[in-house]
Amino acid sequence: MTDTILVVNAGSSSIKFQLFTVGAGDRLERMIKGQVDGIGTRPRLFAVTAQRTILADETWAPAEVGTIPAALDKVIAFLRPQIGGRLPGAVGHRVVHGGPHYANPVVVTTGILSELEKLTPLAPLHQPNNLAPIRTILERRPHLLQVACFDTAFHRGHPELADRYAIPESLYAEGVRRYGFHGLSYEYIARQLPKVAPEIAGGRVVVAHLGSGASMCAIAGGKSVESTMGFTAMDGLPMGTRPGQLDPGVVLYLLSEKKMDAPSIQDFLYKDCGLKGISGISNDVRDLLASRDPQARFALDYFTYRIVLFTGMLAAAMGGIDAFVFTAGVGENAPAIREAVIRRLEWLGLELSTQANRKNAICISRKGARVPCFVIPTDEELMIATHTLRVARERQYVGLQEKRA
């Protein structure tokens, strides 16, 4: 029996992790939540229980935890005493890009890992970091079940009209198409809607996943039909440091007139644009909301303006809109952003309850609004654990304890 599942979400300088126990009826219960951040600079492990009791707050010298594998070692060393000295029964990983071939969670082998590494150019900031802990575990604990869960998978049912670019067929066949991202978040929201708002769960819903990375999704009948993100996780909404929708001619201009090479442009577009670039102050919405600088206000106005524009596009894709959902860090915790968006969408039938919005209520609409608005916290980690457990059960997998000499 797989009695614990470790969920790993690795970034360039951090590993976020959560440990779930598997109870009766395969009910997943969150046991521990934590992260190692500042890898290579100021490494720190911080972890809490599901009740927010602090379990660990430890720091090390930069050289001691200078890589993702070293950080993963610290995570495993911390977790093992919490689960009786054993390894987790299985490990589920967030992997941003599944490309054209992976539409479902998959057990990772060395062959599949090699295929996923080929997708790095499509998600250069995310893919290598997502795959680093998978590679480490494959090398050190090859019999430990690892499941890759893809941010692109939820969108794979799009009609071809939504997935195509106006480019030659040969490029589409190679995989140059619109994929969409944040799929684990949207899948979780789609599953929550029948519990939170059953009256609209089967309808036409626009979901805004607003965080440092931001996108929006049109969900009709519980299925994704359109997304603001495309071939890479750079398209659509402006984000913390990514520009969002951008005329390809801008890239050509940077090449020809600014004499930038491809790696420099990639670095620029992923790290120096978005809210950081337009404000000149910060990539963090909290900083911008607290600032009195006119450029901070302009950056936020631009952010909400683009959200409103894409709402119209997504509603058009579904032939209408029955509800709007905010989720993720900004969507769940920034009433001012939600208010700015809803005020601009009153023509579409959205009406704000100022009091409910300030309280971060689940429903923030005025009573009787034609298009109700909700704030639903996302839980990508629970979604990953759910998929990992399902795969384990389908394979009749039994968690392996470490073999002792």
Residues involved in catalysis? 151
- b/e for 282-299, b at 16 or more Cβ within 10 A? bbbbeebeebeeeebeeb
Sign of CA dihedral 153, 154, 157, 158: negative
Tokens of 7: 């969920």
Three-state helix/strand/coil letters over 37-71:
ECCCCCCEEEEEECCCCEEEEEECCCCCCCCHHHH
Whether the CB-CB separation of 172 and 160 falls below 8 Å is answered with no
- What distances in angstroms separate CA 357 from CA 334, 347, 377, one per listed residue? 9, 19, 14
List the 323-327 sheet strands across, edge first.
223-227, 214-220, 204-210, 323-327, 373-375
Q: What are phi and psi of 21, to 5 degrees?
A: -100, 150
Contact predicate 33/47, CB 8 Å: yes
For 26-144, strand residue ranges (E) read 28-37, 44-49, 54-59, 90-95, 106-107
Q: Which amino acid type is present at position 287?
A: D
Label residue 222 exposed, middle or buried (CB < 10 Å: 0-12, 13-18, 19+): middle
Amino acid at 354: T
